[in-house]
Amino acid sequence: MPYHAPVDDYAFLFDHVVGYAGLRATDRFAEATDDVTRAILTEAGKLTEEVLAPLQRAGDLHPARLENGVVRTSPGFAEGWAAIAEGGWVGMAADPEYGGMGLPMTLTSAVNEMMSSACLSLQLAPLMSQGQIEALEHHASDAIKALYLPKLTAGDWTGTMNLTEPQAGSDVGALSTKAENNGNGTFAVTGQKIYISWGDHDVAENVCHLVLARIPGAPAGTKGISLFLVPKFIPNADGTLGARNGVNVVSLEHKLGLHGSPTAVMQFDAATGWLVGSEEGGMAAMFTMMNNARLGVGGQGIGVAEAAYQHALAYALERKQGRSTLEAGTGTIMDHADVRRMLMTMKADIFAARAIALSCAMAIDMEHATSDTDWRARAAFLTPIAKAFGTDTGIAVAEMGVQVHGGMGFIEETGAAQFSRDVRVTAIYEGTNGVQAMDLVARKMMDGGDAAARLLDEIESCAEEARAALPDLAEPVWQATETLREVTEWMAAQQDMTTRFAGAVPYLRAFARVMGGYLHLKAALADQGGKREALARFYIKRLLPEHAGLLAQAQAGAEDLYALSADDLAA
């Protein structure tokens, strides 16, 4: 079935749920008016529906391939990339000084999500470039900015991030790639990186790699890591391409899904690179790109969830099977209670995950517009939640989409299985969801839980205001928030990090559940008696109660996790 961009849903969220009006009230984003925002959403919707969505199946059936050292992308991907680049979509949030639009990340996130729904394999390319653009804007020298940013923003060149090595996954400090000073302002970068999304391709003329490496003599671990910009072709001063650099593709990974996205093993052999940021400041610079990517990956999960939901809904509306229990039903499986349960769960969780992600993007934008440290803390706190809950939702919704299809969901020709295969990796890359949860209860609670407390105060205030209009929805949200507050205070008080980490994943999901209830409640207040109140009622009555069991797990401690020895587990 054809993909339909949910433009009206984004507009509703902007206007009634995430506070987009406050963003437009700032000097920085004053030009992101209602008319401009709606026009951009509409045009992005056309791009995704008409140009990108038709590439989804082609990317799966005709994967990227490596031929004689050259990566060939799936049919139509070059034209799809050209449409993205020519429309200015790569540089939506980029600095106008280098050709960007300077638009809010909130709006960029919505557009990126639509692209993910249409064709996730291709959307990975602009997402990687956007992250690199932001990292260079914040950390690169003026000379690097002037040479690289216009090309990256225009989509003439693309960007990647190179962190992982065979022995250094989440433990980035264990990397072995080295960078030796050439004495002329450049470094010779040598090493191998794996899992490099869009590490090479034929859709743009140059590929620019951000590479983590260690300068000889630097300290071990993450403290000694530096960041380098290593292009495939070394550019001349005027931006034209010069000599081929010492960068090559060893192989492309054979993956469960995302077949159209070339995921490369990259070899750097004394490749010429330029330092980005300070020596031994690589992690700080790379985290700029990674945090951008974590929000973007959360959006990828939501985007695939939307596409899988639309696919399942269309099937449910046409498939006739069994006897309907409804007198005036459709005569299709849409009448069956369990199919309705799945579809309502899919739709309600998509709304919650989307609203959380856009709330995170809003916090990022407000921090940039105001330099307010509270907004910065909120953005940091919401980032792991947006990433983990967004991708968990994508996986769960895609799996339910297969289930709605029944036996046909297991047949590749229907396309339902592709969503499940494609989205699965989103819970793994840019930091696994377990790592996100540990980050939430550790680094993000170094403030003693203050950022969390401010958010909980806001949720309770909304619930109290809603009691007059929607008491049966407001009360459970308020009560859930109080329970979450108690566990948050308990979590922040734990000195044993193993205890925190043992409960990290259920705690993050419980926080997402409660925040989802809050955002659904705001939607219900804005649409009383309408479809969004009905959806909120389903979420708050059926899905929000999960928070209680999750919070019980969060406080269970670590003892039972280690009760069995390795031999016991193997027996």
What pLDDT digit, counting tens, does each position of 341-379 carry? 999 999 999 999 999 999 999 999 999 999 999 999 999
What distances in angstroms separate CA 187 from CA 119, 229, 506, 513, one per listed residue?
A: 37, 10, 44, 47
Best CA proximity match to 186, nearest among 277, 269, 274, 270: 274
Band (pLDDT 50/70/90 cuts) for residue 435 is: very high
Best CA proximity match to 36, nearest among 137, 133, 111, 99: 111
**How large a percentage of the chain has pLDDT more than 70?**
99
Helix (H) or strand (E) holding 125: helix 105-139
What integer pLDDT is reported at residue 291 of this predicted model? 74
Look up tokens 């949860």; give the residue: 437
Single-letter residue type at 453: A
What integer pLDDT is reported at residue 195 of this predicted model? 95
What pLDDT digit, counting tens, does each position of 44-98 carry? 999 999 999 999 999 999 999 999 989 999 999 999 999 999 999 999 999 999 9
- The mean pLDDT value for 100-106 works out to 97
Band (pLDDT 50/70/90 cuts) for residue 569 is: very high
Q: Would you list the domain boundaries of the chain?
A: 7-151, 159-284, 432-561
What pLDDT digit, counting tens, does each position of 246-270 carry? 999 999 999 999 999 999 999 999 9
Band (pLDDT 50/70/90 cuts) for residue 395 is: very high
Residue 288 has pLDDT above 80, yes or no: no
**Fold entry, domain 7-151:** Butyryl-Coa Dehydrogenase, subunit A; domain 1 (1.10.540)
**How many CB atoms neighbour CB 565 within 10 A?**
9
What integer pLDDT is reported at residue 283 of this predicted model? 84
Catalytic residue among 113, 137, 430, 533: 430
Mean pLDDT of the chain: 96
- The mean pLDDT value for 124-149 works out to 96
Band (pLDDT 50/70/90 cuts) for residue 175 is: confident
Question: What number does CATH give the domain 432-561?
Answer: 1.20.120
Q: Domain 159-284 is of which CATH architecture? A: Beta Barrel (2.40)
What pLDDT digit, counting tens, does each position of 308-346 carry? 999 999 999 999 988 877 877 888 999 999 999 999 999
- The mean pLDDT value for 23-49 works out to 96
What integer pLDDT is reported at residue 173 of this predicted model? 73
Residue 231 has pLDDT above 90, yes or no: yes
Band (pLDDT 50/70/90 cuts) for residue 478 is: very high
What integer pLDDT is reported at residue 321 of this predicted model? 87
Residue 286 has pLDDT above 90, yes or no: no
What pLDDT digit, counting tens, does each position of 501-531 carry? 999 999 999 999 999 999 999 999 999 999 9
Residue 241 has pLDDT above 90, yes or no: yes
If you write DSSP's letter for every residue of 145-207 in order, what string do you get? HHHHHHHHHHTSEEEEEE--BTTBSS-GGG---EEEE-SSS-EEEEEEEEEEET-S-SSSSEE
What integer pLDDT is reported at residue 272 of this predicted model? 98
What integer pLDDT is reported at residue 117 of this predicted model? 98
Residue 284 has pLDDT above 90, yes or no: no
**How many CB atoms neighbour CB 489 within 10 A?**
14
Best CA proximity match to 366, nearest among 376, 381, 356: 376
Alpha-carbon span 407 to 425, nearest angstrom: 24
31 a catalytic residue: no
Residue 451 has pLDDT above 80, yes or no: yes
Phi-psi domain of 184 (left: phi exceeds 0; alpha: psi -120 through 50; beta: other) = alpha
Angle between helices 142-154 and 105-139 (to 10 degrees): 150
Band (pLDDT 50/70/90 cuts) for residue 1 is: low
